[in-house]
Chains A and B, each alone.
Chain A
Amino acid sequence: MVEETYIEKVCIVRANSIVVDTVPRFSSDDSLFAEFSKQAFRQINPEYPKFFKMDSLSKLAVLAAEYLLEGQPIDDLALVLANRSGSLDTDVRHQESIQNEQEYYPSPATFVYTLANICAGEISIRHGLQTENAFFIAEDYPINTARSYTEYLLKSGKAKRVLCGWVEFFEEKYDAVLYIVSPKGTNKHSAENIKKLFE
């Protein structure tokens, strides 16, 4: 049975830069997320055309996960994600496509992203994670809930490791803080240490 759990690795994507643990991995002067994410993703994975079909929230989640999971074992890796806006950025786009009767062309490729958990599904598909998945929505990162839920998955044996964190995107404002929790490491998986990731 798992006793101690640790924050093993962290990836932060914000303000056009990507930092893994404390190492800067990518940054760009491009202010648009679409361009920034394209360059950043190509640098680490030039061969995944599916990436360019995703909405912004999924791009953000998959991009952060790509850097975080580089060189990592993915066996029995569960996902516990959260954000504030859900899929609202894409919801607004879908609403625009159905707002007027004369210009009524709802797009299946847009609509499918009007669910917050799709970005978790995209990470699962990219890395072949047939594992526990949960998506929460809260005003701020629900530290205690994410922590308890993750501990549950590890201690009950329902996962060996957990990819957790925050993936928020709305109207070009974005922030991703993803981290791996496992029975291995030195940085304890405590509420205080999770809080520090968001400072």
Chain B
Amino acid sequence: MAELKEELKGKIIEVLNLEDIAVADIADSDPLFGEGLGLDSIDALELIVLMDKEYGIKLSDPKQGKSIFQSIDTMAAYIAENRTK
């Protein structure tokens, strides 16, 4: 799980072009949206693409994303349970 979380942080930084943020700067429980990394609605959609492309998980309801994308913890847990690749 720890490995998946590290991998996920790296991918998020790359895909969302988070300049000046390193893997070590993101705590597993940090909120990704709002106060945390300050992600916005386009980032949320981009995370849905990331879930599909990297882990073969299709999220068709954007509302579903809200609970899954709370933090690295919640994302990793969902991926571990539902990944198809």
Contact present between A and B (CB < 8 A): yes
Asked if B80 CB lies within 8 Å of chain A CBs, one says no
Chain B positions 28 through 51: 1 when the CB is less than 8 Å from some CB of chain A, otherwise 0:
000000000010001101100100
The contact of B20 among A49, A53, A109, by CB within 8 Å, is A49
The contact of A52 among B17, B38, B53, by CB within 8 Å, is B17
Contact B43 A49 (CB under 8 A): no
Asked if A108 CB lies within 8 Å of chain B CBs, one says yes
Asked if A105 CB lies within 8 Å of chain B CBs, one says yes
Q: Using a CB-CB cutoff of 8 Å, which residues 67-115 of chain A contact chain B?
A: 105-109, 112
B49 surroundings in chain A (CB, below 8 A):
105-108
Looking at chain A, what size class is its interface with the partner chain? 10 to 19
For B, the interface residue count at a CB cutoff of 8 angstroms equals 13
Contact A52 B19 (CB under 8 A): yes
A38 surroundings in chain B (CB, below 8 A):
19
Nearest B residue to A54, CB-CB:
B17
A49 surroundings in chain B (CB, below 8 A):
18-20, 38
The distance in angstroms between the C-alpha atoms of A53 and B45, with both chains bound, is 14
Contact B53 A105 (CB under 8 A): yes
The distance in angstroms between the C-alpha atoms of A108 and B49, with both chains bound, is 8
Contact A53 B53 (CB under 8 A): no
A109 surroundings in chain B (CB, below 8 A):
16-17, 42-43, 45-46
Minimum C-beta distance from A53 to chain B (A): 5
The distance in angstroms between the C-alpha atoms of A38 and B19, with both chains bound, is 10
Asked if B6 CB lies within 8 Å of chain A CBs, one says no
Known contacts A105-B49, A105-B52, A107-B49; A112/B20 CB under 8 A: no
The distance in angstroms between the C-alpha atoms of A32 and B13, with both chains bound, is 21
B17 surroundings in chain A (CB, below 8 A):
52-53, 109
The distance in angstroms between the C-alpha atoms of A49 and B45, with both chains bound, is 19
A52 surroundings in chain B (CB, below 8 A):
17-19
Nearest B residue to A106, CB-CB:
B49
B18 surroundings in chain A (CB, below 8 A):
49, 52
The distance in angstroms between the C-alpha atoms of A51 and B17, with both chains bound, is 10
Minimum C-beta distance from A45 to chain B (A): 12
Nearest B residue to A47, CB-CB:
B20
Known contacts A49-B19, A53-B16; A108/B42 CB under 8 A: yes
Minimum C-beta distance from B57 to chain A (A): 13
The distance in angstroms between the C-alpha atoms of A112 and B44, with both chains bound, is 14
Nearest A residue to B52, CB-CB:
A105
Contact B45 A108 (CB under 8 A): yes
A112 surroundings in chain B (CB, below 8 A):
42
Most-contacted residue by chain A among B19, B45, B53 (CB, 10 A) = B19
Sorted from nearest, which 10 A-B pairs have the closest CB atoms? A52-B19, A108-B45, A53-B17, A105-B53, A109-B46, A52-B17, A109-B42, A108-B42, A49-B19, A105-B49
